[in-house]
Amino acid sequence: YRDNMYFTEVDEQTYGIKPMNCLSHMLIYKSKIRSYRDLPLRYFELGTVHRHEKTGVLHGLMRVRQFTQDDAHILCMPEQLNAEIRAIADFVSYAMGIFGFEYEVELSTRPEHSIGSEADWDLATRALENALTDNRIPYEVNEGDGAFYGPKIDFKLKDALKRKWQCATIQCDFTLPERFDLSYIGPDGEKHRPVMLHRVILGAIERFMGVLIEHYAGAFPVWLAPVQCVVLTVTDKQIPYARKVVDQLTGAGVRCEAYFDNDKLGYKIRQAQMQKIPYMLVIGDKEVAAGTVAPRARDGRNLGALPVEEFIVLMQNACEQKK
């Protein structure tokens, strides 16, 4: 993997910037004697890595040289593999459902440049195939696109241009535990070799955000929107009441902004629409007198006059239901 790494030299000693998180997780595993009773052991890290991708393949947020991923490594006994792989696949399905994504699944097999024996690769590939079959997940085989240390299941999302991007992945690895001489004490009192699963659910956060932005075209649902509502005043007279409304909303955890400028109301509304903010709360003299707000949805729907407390409940329900 050396060609994809960054190196620096300090005091005549060469250092490499980590391109992946699995190596440190294996060292943690190896720091003490492990028993079969400890397994499966699951290590998680929201880790930043650096990979020297060629200039020609760099692509916005989708393909970058520095990225952070929700990386986990599971060390288990061979007989635990099926249950662990199936559980990860269920986790991916749950997470993608929350975000409203459809995805395709590919089983990627041994690439031309790889490490490990043919027997280990066959075992790892069969383990992934069996888990997909048991979970009734349809998939296609992507010949030669596995990691250099093992085959993998790739979950690919489509962007607005129907291009596929690999985000979640499950990789089955018999090879690196061998290279790092990892072991556990089995029921027979002898040393045995664990198997390692590499998995990410969202994958590179930068790439996932890129796909997410394109998927919603910037019009995020309430629960995901960076700004969930904006308070707009008709004139300066409503500002004192509007400030109280903003304080109530932010105090309840609603992500809220205030447009109190001297601009015309129509201009403020257009600004909020351009920002694709889910709700605009227009406050005029009538709302001040009644102690209410007048929510207007991004799609143009008017919700009528509502007490602030009722609007807060509406927002909280939308967040709880992931709407």
Known active-site residue 51: yes
Beta bridge partners of 45: 71
Task: Report which of 203, 254, 228, 226 is spatially closest to residue 101, judged by C-alpha positions.
Answer: 203
Q: How far apart are CA 281 and CA 243, in angstroms?
A: 12
Burial tier of 2 (Cβ tally within 10 Å: 0-12, 13-18, 19+):
exposed
Selecting among 51, 52, 243, 255, the annotated active-site residue is: 51
Q: How far apart are CA 281 and CA 255, in angstroms?
A: 13
Known active-site residue 69: yes
Selecting among 25, 34, 63, 73, the annotated active-site residue is: 73
Selecting among 22, 167, 229, 256, the annotated active-site residue is: 22
Known active-site residue 321: no
Selecting among 25, 34, 63, 71, the annotated active-site residue is: 71
* Beta pairing class for 229-233 and 256-259: parallel
CA angle 187, 191, 194 (to 5 degrees): 90
Burial tier of 282 (Cβ tally within 10 Å: 0-12, 13-18, 19+):
buried
Selecting among 63, 152, 199, 207, the annotated active-site residue is: 152
Known active-site residue 22: yes
Selecting among 63, 198, 199, 296, the annotated active-site residue is: 198
Beta bridge partners of 158: 164
Selecting among 25, 34, 69, 167, the annotated active-site residue is: 69
Helix axis angle for 239-251 and 308-320, nearest 10°, is: 30
Known active-site residue 73: yes
The catalytic site residues sit at: 22, 51, 69, 71, 73, 152, 198
